[in-house]
Amino acid sequence: MAALNIIVTAKQVIDHEIPASALSIDETSTRVTAPSSFKPIVNGFDDYALEAALRLKEAGGANITVLSVGSQFDVNIMRKTLAMGADRLILCQDPAFTNLADSFTTAQIIAAAIRKIGEFDLILCGRQASDWDNAQVPLVLAELLDLPCITLAQKIEVTDGKVTVEQVVTDGYRVAEAALPALITVTNELGEPRYPALRNIMAANRKRPTTWKADDLDLDPAMLTPQLEVIEVAFPSKAQACEMIESEDGAEAGRRLAQVLHEAGLI
């Protein structure tokens, strides 16, 4: 079987492990920021998408291109995708690509970049980005590129020009198939992505990603006007007093909890 051409979309985001208390909100620009001491990361679910691509590479051969769109990249962070085993990294970086809260606009930009890349067999995307949690871009991308779309993959296999996916549903999973080329979104049920070996990290640091600007893409400037407007971002107010059940003895505390819940009519 010929090696698959796989495109993996990736987004650079604020590290989702950062505690909420460390986040700041700029009310004027309606942006959320983290202190510069916290490095950004490649969106967690995109690691899973790349892991799925790497498993396909191991199974039957693949050329993996990681594609990312943003206004400002930390190239060392994005190079992790090369260290994990991707063959090529393309960064579409332009100040015009600032308003990524609008998934519809973002998908248009990514579609233009994919058309520039040319041929592909599979596009793999993380199911959502941990900053805006929209879970939209991959689906809009499938529409724009007129591709079969299967979401929430926990397992992906390719045989004879056809992709077979185990798709997570609420009470289990569904097995779905489509002809290539196709777009698949990937979820954490796939299993932990690999850590890059140190030698691969060092090799990746010597590689230079391809960079494209807005002008390099065949984009209608009207596409760059976001349709979605962020009016306000704010921390949710929390007013909850927790009644602590204290006891020297854990078992006694457990018994008291049962009584408290019973008295409250909950059990």
Tell me which residues in 149-168 interact with another protein (CB under 8 A).
149-151, 154, 164, 168
Contact 80, 197 (CB under 8 A): no
Amino acid at 90: I
Report 215-234 residues binding another protein (CB under 8 A).
226-234
Looking at the DSSP bridge assignments, the partners of residue 10 are 68
Instruction: For residue 181, say if its preceding peptide bond is cis, omega within 30 degrees of 0.
Output: yes
- Residue 168 exposure: Cα atoms within 13 Å on the Cβ side: 13
> Is the four-CA dihedral 46, 19, 75, 137 of positive or negative sign?
positive
Give the whole-angstrom CA distance, residue 134 versus residue 127.
9
Single residue of 119, 160, 171, 220 touching another protein by CB under 8 A: 171
Q: What are phi and psi of 221, to 5 degrees?
A: -55, -30
What is the smallest separation between the CB atom of 182 and another protein, expressed in angstroms? Answer: 8
Contact 61, 6 (CB under 8 A): no
- Is residue 35 close enough to count as binding another protein by CB under 8 A? no
Single residue of 26, 58, 74, 177 touching another protein by CB under 8 A: 177
Q: What is the dihedral of CA 197, 202, 205, 210, to 10 degrees?
A: -60
Q: Closest CB to another protein among 213 and 255?
A: 255
Structure tokens at 158: 């390719």
Q: Closest CB to another protein among 97 and 212?
A: 97
Report 118-137 residues binding another protein (CB under 8 A).
127-128, 130-136
Ordered alpha helix ranges (H), 21-122: 44-60, 75-78, 80-84, 103-117
Q: Point out which span in 17-25, 62-70, 77-85, 204-212 binds another protein (CB under 8 A).
A: 17-25
Single residue of 2, 175, 198, 222 touching another protein by CB under 8 A: 175
Tell me, by CB under 8 A, how many residues bind another protein. 86
Single residue of 26, 58, 74, 143 touching another protein by CB under 8 A: 143
Q: Point out which span in 3-11, 83-91, 184-192, 205-213 binds another protein (CB under 8 A).
A: 184-192
Q: Closest CB to another protein among 95 and 250?
A: 250
What is the smallest separation between the CB atom of 75 and another protein, expressed in angstroms? Answer: 24
Q: Closest CB to another protein among 98 and 136?
A: 136
What is the smallest separation between the CB atom of 251 and another protein, expressed in angstroms? Answer: 3
Contact 71, 105 (CB under 8 A): no
- Is residue 103 close enough to count as binding another protein by CB under 8 A? yes
